[in-house]
Structure 1
Amino acid sequence: MTELLRFFSYHQPRRIRVIENTLRSRRTVATLFWAQQYGILKWLGAYRSLTRPDFDHLIKKLVSQKLLILDEQAQARLTEEGAALLKKEETSRYDPAFFDWYWLANTHRVMQRLLLAVQVASEYSYHQNKYAPLTIPYEEMLAVKKWFRNNYQHDFTNRLYLDLQRFGTAIASEDLRLAKDFFNLLIGHQKAGWTPNQAAVALNLSVEDISFLRHDEMLAISAYARNFPGPLQQLLTPILRTSPLNQSAEVTYNFYAQGQEIPTIAQERHLKESTIKEHLLEAAILMPDKMDWDRFLPTNKRAVLAKAYNGSPVTWQFNDDISSFYEYRLYQIYQGVINEN
């Protein structure tokens, strides 16, 4: 899987576990921070089905092919051969269009719910009630069943068709391969959807790129459902996020934004102060433009830190004589923000 090469750099050693956890959406503050530093944060959750053994096997294979160098700290960087191959394959790789919505949805759940919903609607339009429904988790099946019962009497299939048609037109204007795969992925009356291998052959992409393509499709339809009323919005809204933060971190951030301090929030929420700080660090990483940096990291503290740490934040070594780790990490994030702007 040379597609993994896109997550590595020739000049910067990168932690392989950060890349793995990013692709699998294992959200720790450390993963989010380093993913941001590596410029791969938008790939969060792009390959949820990837397993640790498969990932390690792929890394080992890339090392054996002399495309990656892996050190004893489990950091890897591209070799000259790896960088050259990455450049060569640049035009043939799928370049995501909707990954900026990475935080909006668990795309596995979106796909499960969507595929069953379309199948049910298709069979209903043919007055067919004897068929084998797609096997998905029970919770998702119940959600689709409820959605169907709330809609089927109101010109249901026509409204869903128009909704899908509008969505398809929108994604086709971005990349025709998105629309081709999306509609061939759907399951209907006497119709089975494309497998990843079939899609890869038809679209001249690797199987791994098909995974990224479909993640992109599900983010796109989630964004569409978020903004346009209709059957798709009714189906998907319950599993769409309203914020990049997880629910607990969002509660903490809102308390802090209202003026409460960390010890007070910890006491009120019956959480450790360290947990509250983790929540605020997550907010700083994922919503830097909404942060009151003068409150989070006052000017006098930034001045002290500026004397101790310079250069690229990824090269710094924490010194507990200068600050707490919380302040140190905030300052790293802050420097990344101002350098980006």
Structure 2
Amino acid sequence: MNKLLRFFSYHQPRRIRVIENTLRSRRTVATLFWARQYGILEWLGADRALNRQEYDQLINQLVDDKLLVIDDQSQASLTEEGAKVLKNEEESFYIPSFYDWYWLANTQRVIQRLFLAIQVVSEFSYHQRKYVPLAIPYGEMIAVKQWFRQNYHHDLVKSLYNDLHRFGSALESEDPRMTTDLFNVMIGYQRSGWTINQAAQELQIKINDIQYLRHDEMLAISAYARNFPGPLQQLLLPLINESPLNRSAQVTFDLYTQGKPMKLIAQERRLKENTIKEHLLEAAILIPDKLDWDILLPGSKRDELSQFYKGEPTAWKFDEQIASFYEYRLYQIFQGITNEK
């Protein structure tokens, strides 16, 4: 089954590039906004290795199979047949457990760093120096090398084993398939690890869903490393984000919560005011409960906008004579969140 089918809807046309950008974690405000409206924000970064050619081929396959139809604005909807196929397939989909932590880390980097570290410690435990290390980016290799040098004389083999055992026990209670896959895919001394096909067969999960399972595992181990001291925390903490916001947006948000007006923040940060607005829009999308909406978009302004914009926010059309695009988008976000509740 085509792995993209689950991201489309029969009732709601969805922008095909938003779905692509969400899976690849291309974090523009527009992508974040529409991903939230589509209910797929938690899938941000779930398939970072996806490239444009592969994505377009998968989309074209759905169209050729008459499961998806695309309008002249590059928005796609499931056909009646597509909706039937999706309903029949849904029960067999892998359902993630940790995708609420979508913002926590780049799981591609986590898996590279983690698996090389496991391999190095495993070979070290057998006093093996002649082996071929995993081929990962140079920066990640240096990080693992420094981590190993700092820890190998502190009984690293035992402490890492204990750390992984604690994590595995906790993960087992969430979904045993995650634990089984994680510890069978690891590479070590005289051990090559499961292929995707082996994992799919052993776990009875569709091949296309194995990547989503492993993204889930890396979010889980990132959440564990964030909270529990040990070798895994030392290894992975530099990769773990403190907030759903990017660093620059977080700085702007912190200044905003201190009560500073937008123009002053822009001057203090030496950024354009439009950039500050982008940061606040990102905060409105990702951490709406931490914002004072009565300051960000006062009730009087919301009442004014409500006279012109009604119904489903995704169906609205921007009119510059009614409000600025910034206010329009804020009101869209506000109403979308209100509808969610």
Q: Report if TM-score (shorter chain) is over 0.5.
A: yes
SS of the aligned residue for 1:308 comes to: coil
Structure 1 partner of 2:46: 46
Task: Report the AA paired with residue 249 of structure 1.
Answer: A
For structure 1, the residue ranges without an aligned partner over 5 or more in a row are none
For residues 294 and 193 of structure 2, what CA distance do their matches in structure 1 show? 53
For residues 34 and 267 of structure 2, what CA distance do their matches in structure 1 show? 30
Structure 1 partner of 2:278: 278
Shift of residue 91, structure 1, vs aligned partner: 1.5
Structure 2 partner of 1:167: 167
For residues 26 and 318 of structure 2, what CA distance do their matches in structure 1 show? 24
Structure 1 partner of 2:83: 83
Structure 2 partner of 1:315: 315
Structure 1 partner of 2:192: 192
Post-superposition Cα deviations, 1:134-164, rounded to whole Å, max 9, x if no partner, equal 1111111111111111111112111111111
Structure 1 partner of 2:65: 65
SS of the aligned residue for 1:72 comes to: coil
Task: Report the AA paired with residue 276 of structure 1.
Answer: I
Task: Report the AA paired with residue 238 of structure 2.
Answer: P
Shift of residue 24, structure 1, vs aligned partner: 0.3
For residues 81 and 204 of structure 1, what CA distance do their matches in structure 2 show? 25
For residues 162 and 20 of structure 2, what CA distance do their matches in structure 1 show? 38
Shift of residue 233, structure 1, vs aligned partner: 0.6
Moved more, 9-18 or 129-138: 129-138
Post-superposition Cα deviations, 1:55-101, rounded to whole Å, max 9, x if no partner, equal 00100000110111111111111111111111111121111110000
Structure 1 partner of 2:302: 302
Task: Report the AA paired with residue 194 of structure 2.
Answer: W
Task: Report the AA paired with residue 268 of structure 1.
Answer: E
For residues 70 and 176 of structure 1, what CA distance do their matches in structure 2 show? 39
Shift of residue 173, structure 1, vs aligned partner: 1.3
Structure 2 partner of 1:149: 149
For residues 261 and 131 of structure 2, what CA distance do their matches in structure 1 show? 57
SS of the aligned residue for 1:189 comes to: coil
| Pair 1:106-2:113 in alignment | no
Task: Report the AA paired with residue 264 of structure 2.
Answer: T
For residues 168 and 87 of structure 1, what CA distance do their matches in structure 2 show? 33
Structure 1 partner of 2:17: 17
Number of residue pairs the alignment of both structures matches: 341
Identity rate, percent: 67
Shift of residue 207, structure 1, vs aligned partner: 2.2
Post-superposition Cα deviations, 1:215-256, rounded to whole Å, max 9, x if no partner, equal 000000000101111110110001100000011111111111
Task: Report the AA paired with residue 214 of structure 2.
Answer: R
Task: Report the AA paired with residue 308 of structure 2.
Answer: A
SS of the aligned residue for 2:69 comes to: strand
Shift of residue 201, structure 1, vs aligned partner: 2.1
For structure 2, the residue ranges without an aligned partner over 5 or more in a row are none
Structure 2 partner of 1:2: 2
For residues 149 and 139 of structure 1, what CA distance do their matches in structure 2 show? 16
Shift of residue 204, structure 1, vs aligned partner: 2.2
Task: Report the AA paired with residue 127 of structure 1.
Answer: H
User: TM-score, normalising length from structure 2?
Assistant: 0.98
Post-superposition Cα deviations, 1:79-124, rounded to whole Å, max 9, x if no partner, equal 1111111111112111111000000000000000000000011011
User: TM-score, normalising length from structure 1?
Assistant: 0.98
